[in-house]
Amino acid sequence: MKRSFIREILESIDEQTISFAGGLPNEKLFPVEDLKNVTQKIFDNPKVLQYSVSNGIKPLREKIAQQYSNEGFPTKAENILITTGSQQAMYIIAKYFELKDITVEEPSYLGAMNIFKLNKLKMQGVKLEEDGIIIDAFEKSFEKTKLAYLIPDFQNPFSSTYSQDKREQIAKIVQKYNGILIEDSPYSELYFDKKNKSISKELPQNSFHLGSFSKTLAPSLRIGWIRASETLIRSIMIIKESIDLHSCGISQHILDEYLKDENRYKMHLQTIRNDYKTKMNFFAQTLEEVLPEFTFTKPKGGMFLYGKFNDLDSFELVQRCMKNRVVFVPGSEFYIDNRKTSEVRFNYSHTNIEDIKRGLELVKASL
Amino acid sequence: MKRSFIREILESIDEQTISFAGGLPNEKLFPVEDLKNVTQKIFDNPKVLQYSVSNGIKPLREKIAQQYSNEGFPTKAENILITTGSQQAMYIIAKYFELKDITVEEPSYLGAMNIFKLNKLKMQGVKLEEDGIIIDAFEKSFEKTKLAYLIPDFQNPFSSTYSQDKREQIAKIVQKYNGILIEDSPYSELYFDKKNKSISKELPQNSFHLGSFSKTLAPSLRIGWIRASETLIRSIMIIKESIDLHSCGISQHILDEYLKDENRYKMHLQTIRNDYKTKMNFFAQTLEEVLPEFTFTKPKGGMFLYGKFNDLDSFELVQRCMKNRVVFVPGSEFYIDNRKTSEVRFNYSHTNIEDIKRGLELVKASL
């Protein structure tokens, strides 16, 4: 099995290459001073350095649970499992369902697809459209698999968002077949206009809802979580424990201390939203000017813009682009069969305005 | 599959219970001020908060590699993979060898055995003695499995240490059958008199050597590592990447900064060794006084003291002890078949002198 194209690129490109490839947050927005200050505080208690519980420290689980409850999705600390990034959340769940069939969107998140392959889940792809997955095809697949992995908000890579109507239909189908929905929501807080309702809210017993601080605070902390019924949380605990005993204690305490000031976090999120919205609009405008042959729909949030060229192989294009020192991820990476496609995923959160312009001109020059 | 007895105990006992159960370091020895100070420094570079490379930050890998090279085991940064504790190191390797047969010591580390079960490795137990595994039985098993998991230094739970002679014989057998040794060494630095030579040193192409900062600096950082040939490291990278993309970046930078002062780390290790040696001697002396019916050999390092009672079921004993507010791990937990045994593992690193005395008296009262 090959490694992630994106991870390999991240590790091999030089400083001069403009990257629209990774899912990197804008590091200029990291709340460095605030994190530095809260980190000082946590060392007052030497126990933060000791082994900890496998499900995660309780005050942090309580704060995450409270956020769900505030949004009308009743949740207790016992419904939360802290994970080493939401990547690990996915791994744990995939391991739990190993060898099973699973319905996934196409295109879908590369990291999840690699995890499913590694744990021998058999993926059935269902086409994704601008307002979400095609419902009839989804039901046909889910009737057999009874397990689905979806990213309803600002999907990676497709940058689409499910309509409220499709969310409700998905919830009904999952209930009808008494199956399980894995709802991956790393980008949900990065909305430009309004927050969407999670599908899991309608499926408290039949869902794993995955969240992360990687896109909202700092990826290197490696803290994500799973929200599920207490029964499901208990079922997957042995896997979490086997993989790393518990997630980084320092990171958990940093986050717990940081989140004590709710207002500070709210303002920080708003700063990110404003920045990404500005960048997305600039990226879209520049695309229209520099690459009019590229068609796309503006995303409503998140970090990615997905679209396609007319009749070219975007995998070949990216090879040419890399020589010209600009990089992005070709759509083929996001399909189960790695099919040839003219589709492309651009990340707009990590690059500055000048590099967006220069980078897209380099893409143009590589066509 | 059941969860770890030890983890469940850690999560359920109250503050009043004296615990000889976990493998907890003495938290009074955590270098809190030093770690606090280096943590301040790392925030000078906001990039420490960004996504990082899957194999671990290079300066930290270089420092770990240098330590091996200093001990006559030539090692480069490319031979090191940073993991989320050595627990994850084991998980990654077990996943890589899933469904295979594996030779393990009996008794052996519970966490590793759980990982092997979870990844469907078929364990063949070979009896462990005071100077290491029984060589003939090991060869007979290894000839078939060609894969072994051993803890040569201050074994958990058995607290034994391999003789130099047995180390050499093991290396020869692994080479003879061109197999793989997984050498787990979380306690190697916690020697009372001298550091032992790793078996992997004689098997640079045929070994995974596992290390950790959990027992020497702070478990909550969740940083361990694998030392292996570049080929083997490349083979397991996809698994590491799938599980959590990379280990906590903050922890890696804290450690890298801390380890820049080699002398400080050396002195810290010596402090731990002195403390644990004193505690072990006190524990051993108290056992002889309070529980003369308990037979054991003094360990040469590490955190555990293993021994046995005459003719009782130590699993039943621990149930009675828990009511009397003292806890340890019964030997049955460390055998593949969970056989009835009169054996017991005591941890001596985490409890203070008064509690050791009081705790062992409570065990006596529970007999």
Query: DSSP readout, B172-197?
Result: HHHHHTT-EEEEE-TTTT-BSS-PPP
A170 CB neighbour count, 10 Å cutoff = 25
Question: Which of B28, B49, B237 is the closest to A3 by Cβ?
Answer: B237
Instruction: Please indicate, yes or no, whether residues B141 and B184 belong to a single structural domain of this protein.
Output: yes
Q: Which of B349-359 are b and which e, b meaning 16 or more Cβ less than 10 Å from the residue's Cβ?
A: bbbeeeebbeb
Same domain as A308, residue A236: no
Residue where a domain stops, chosen among B261, B293, B327: B261
Among A244, A253, A257, the strongest candidate for a mutation testing the B interface, having the largest count of B CBs within 10 A, is A244
In this model, does residue A79 exceed pLDDT 90? Answer: yes
Q: B137 and B198 in one domain?
A: yes
Residue B248's Cβ-count burial label (10 Å; 0-12, 13-18, 19+) is buried
Which neighbouring-strand residues pair with A18?
A: A326
Distance, in angstroms, between B99 CA and closest chain A CA? 13
Q: Which residues of A touch B245 (CB under 8 A)?
A: 7, 85, 87, 111, 222
Band (pLDDT 50/70/90 cuts) for residue A13 is: confident
Looking at the complex, does the CB of residue B51 fall below 8 Å from at least one CB of chain A? yes
**Residue A44, C-beta contacts closer than 8 angstroms, at least 6 positions apart:** none
Residue-wise pLDDT for A287-341, tens only, equals 999 999 999 999 999 999 999 999 999 999 998 999 999 999 999 999 999 999 9
pLDDT at A307: 98
Section A43-69 average pLDDT: 96
**Residues B19 and B55 reside in one and the same domain:** no
pLDDT at A22: 87
Contact (CB<8Å) A27/B49: yes
Q: How many domains would you assign to chain B?
A: 2
CA distance A214 to chain B (A): 8
Q: Look at residue A233 in the predicted model and tell me its pLDDT.
A: 98
DSSP A351-363: S-HHHHHHHHHHH
Last residue of a domain, one of A261, A277, A303: A261
Rounded to a whole number of angstroms, the distance from the CA of B78 to the nearest CA of chain A is 13
Q: Which residue of B has its CA nearest to A28?
A: B46
A10–B contact, CB cutoff 8 A:
yes
Residues B84 and B225 in one domain: yes
Query: Is A215 in the same domain as A197?
Result: yes
Which of B28, B34, B84 has the highest number of chain A CBs within 10 A, making it the mutation to test binding with A?
Answer: B84
Supply the pLDDT for residue B22: 87
Q: Tell me, what DSSP letter sits at residue A191? A: B
- Taken in order A242, A245, A251, A252, the sign of the CA dihedral is positive
Reported in sequence order, the residue ranges of chain A that DSSP labels E, i.e. its strands, are 18-19, 80-83, 101-106, 122-129, 132-133, 147-150, 180-184, 207-212, 224-227, 295-296, 304-308, 326-327, 329-330, 343-347
Closest-CA residue of A relative to B113 is A242
Nearest CA in chain A to B87: A244
Query: Could you tell me if residue A146 is left (phi over 0), alpha (psi between -120 and 50 degrees) or otherwise beta?
Result: left
Query: Are B331 and B314 contacting, i.e. CB atoms less than 8 angstroms apart?
Result: yes
**Rounded mean pLDDT of A254-273?**
98
**Same domain, yes or no, for B186 and B304?**
no
The predicted model gives A243-247 an average pLDDT of: 97
A305 and A156 in a common domain: no
CATH number of the CATH domain containing A214: 3.40.640.10
Q: What is the pLDDT of residue A15?
A: 82
Residue B293 sits in a domain of what CATH number? 3.90.1150.10
Task: State the complex-level ipTM.
Answer: 0.95
Q: Would the pLDDT of A258 be above 90?
A: yes
Which residues form the domain of A88? 35-261
Q: Is A9's Cβ below 8 Å from some Cβ in B? A: no
> How many helices (H) and strands (E) are present in chain A, helices listed first?
12, 14
Per residue in A118-173, pLDDT tens? 999 999 999 999 999 999 999 999 999 999 999 999 999 999 999 999 999 999 99
pLDDT averaged over every residue in chain A: 96
Nearest CA in chain B to A47: B27
Give yes or no: residues B148 and B291 share one domain. no
CA distance A269 to chain B (A): 16
Contact of A214 with chain B, judged by CB distance below 8 Å, is answered with: yes
Domain end (from B228, B243, B261):
B261
Same domain, A256 and A138: yes
Is B115 within 8 Å of chain A by CB? yes
Q: For chains A and B, count residue pairs whose Cβ atoms are closer than 8 Å.
A: 190
CB contacts, 8 Å: B23 with chain A: 51
**Mutation choice for B interface testing from A32, A36, A121, A242 by most B CBs within 10 A:** A242
Whether A95 contacts chain B with CB within 8 A: yes
Distance from CA of B289 to the nearest CA of A (A): 31
Q: Mind telling me how many Å the CA of A333 is from chain B's nearest CA?
A: 15
| B108 shares its domain with B235 | yes
Q: What is the pLDDT along chain B (367 residues), one digit of tens a residue?
A: 566 666 666 666 788 899 999 889 999 999 999 999 999 999 999 999 999 999 999 999 999 999 999 999 999 999 999 999 999 999 999 999 999 999 999 999 999 999 999 999 999 999 999 999 999 999 999 999 999 999 999 999 999 999 999 999 999 999 999 999 999 999 999 999 999 999 999 999 999 999 999 999 999 999 999 999 999 999 999 999 999 999 999 999 999 999 999 999 999 999 999 999 999 999 999 999 999 999 999 999 999 999 999 999 999 999 899 999 999 999 999 999 999 999 999 999 999 999 999 999 999 999 9
| pLDDT tens per residue, range A182-220 | 999 999 999 999 999 999 999 999 999 999 999 999 999
One domain for residues B25 and B42: no
